[in-house]
């Protein structure tokens, strides 16, 4: 599982920082999460092919989280895209994007499919044989969701040495891989777990931005491998965080600790601070395994 940060700063683009966008590579999927201005430039800079992105998840309709989407959709058309593109986001995103396409007489040549969200409860919005994606309802100034990405458990791997020790014919190897027990000629049944190795533990990633500090989140986030949680402010501006419905680094750490996640990634920083290291210093007083998102930074888990 790889997370590439394209942008992780709050509010407005600057010469050296970009608003929110990130790419999650998980179990064969390359997924774009949020799409602030400058996203397609950063995708090119990080050598991530537009054609490999089939699913885009937009948390909410504040400009620093989706103003890059119309340009990206248009560029995909110019590049000759033919396969479907699925966009998941709040109700209204289809109207916003299609109006721009209509006024510019630039309808896509490829199927552009919108999945509009309105539920205030967690809901499964995408699932295939490899992953599932569930919304994480957040409390912000407008309707907002985070997203929980989970790998499906893979197939068990054949233990060839064990199969050979039992004298099992190769013709039965596929059945073993498919999880079946094997009955020997003498009538003895060999359980599948004795003939296979456990598959790698499925990984999970939770994206939470933007939101006020909400202790209720910890229940849905319980035990995830990696949590990205916004930390717009430091605790010295906690009142401002509450007023604008954002979180502090300390509050993000409290959520991570309560949910017993493995790794916390901080982001969505206000640019009022002299160094993002201050966010890590604050968070690690509560939760030890803290990483700092920064534009262009990639993490492998």
Annotated binding site for Zn(2+): 60, 62, 64-65, 140, 210, 268
Q: Which helix (H) or strand (E) holds 100?
A: helix 93-103
Q: Are 201 and 209 in contact (CB under 8 A)?
A: no
In this structure, the strands spanning 204-208 and 189-190 are unpaired
Residues contacting residue 74 through CB under 8 Å, at least 6 positions apart: 101, 104, 106
Radius of gyration of the chain (CA): 22
Binding-site positions: 60, 62, 64-65, 140, 210, 268
Tokens at residue 214, please?
Answer: 């909400």
Single out the catalytic residue among 64, 161, 185, 225.
Answer: 64
Q: Specify whether 128 is catalytic.
A: no
CB 250 within 8 A of CB 258: no
The C-alpha atoms of residue 280 and residue 267 are separated, in whole angstroms, by 10
Q: Which residue has the tokens 């601070």?
A: 273
Q: Judge whether 19 and 13 are in contact, CB under 8 Å.
A: yes
- Catalytic sites, residue numbers: 64
């Amino acid at each position: 599982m790889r997370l590439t940060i394209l942008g992780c700063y709050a509010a407005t683009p600057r010469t050296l920082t970009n608003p929110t966008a990130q790419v999650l590579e998980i179990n064969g999927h390359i997924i774009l999460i949020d799409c602030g201005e400058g996203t397609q430039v950063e995708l090119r800079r990080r050598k991530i092919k537009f054609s490999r992105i089939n699913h885009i998840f937009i948390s909410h309709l504040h400009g620093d989280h989706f103003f890059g989407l119309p340009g990206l959709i248009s560029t995909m058309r110019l590049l000759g895209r033919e396969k479907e593109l699925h966009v998941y986001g709040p109700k209204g995103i289809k109207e916003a994007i299609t109006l721009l396409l209509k006024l510019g007489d630039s309808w896509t040549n490829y199927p552009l499919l919108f999945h509009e969200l309105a539920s205030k409860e967690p809901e499964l919005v995408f699932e295939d044989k490899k992953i599932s994606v569930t919304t994480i309802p957040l409390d912000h100034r407008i309707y907002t969701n985070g997203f929980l990405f989970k790998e499906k458990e893979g197939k068990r791997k054949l233990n060839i040495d064990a199969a050979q020790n039992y004298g099992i014919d190769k013709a039965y190897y596929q059945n073993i891989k498919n999880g079946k027990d094997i009955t020997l000629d003498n009538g003895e049944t060999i359980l599948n777990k004795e003939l296979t190795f456990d598959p790698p533990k499925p990984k999970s990633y939770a994206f939470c931005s933007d939101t006020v500090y909400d202790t209720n989140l910890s229940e849905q986030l319980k035990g995830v491998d990696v949590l990205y949680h916004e930390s717009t402010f430091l605790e010295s501006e906690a009142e401002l965080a509450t007023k604008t419905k954002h979180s502090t680094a300390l509050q993000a750490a409290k959520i991570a600790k309560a949910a017993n996640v493995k790794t916390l990634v901080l982001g969505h920083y206000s640019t009022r601070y002299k160094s993002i290291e201050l966010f890590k210093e604050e968070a690690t007083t509560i939760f030890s395994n803290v990483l700092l998102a920064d534009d262009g930074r990639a993490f492998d888990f």
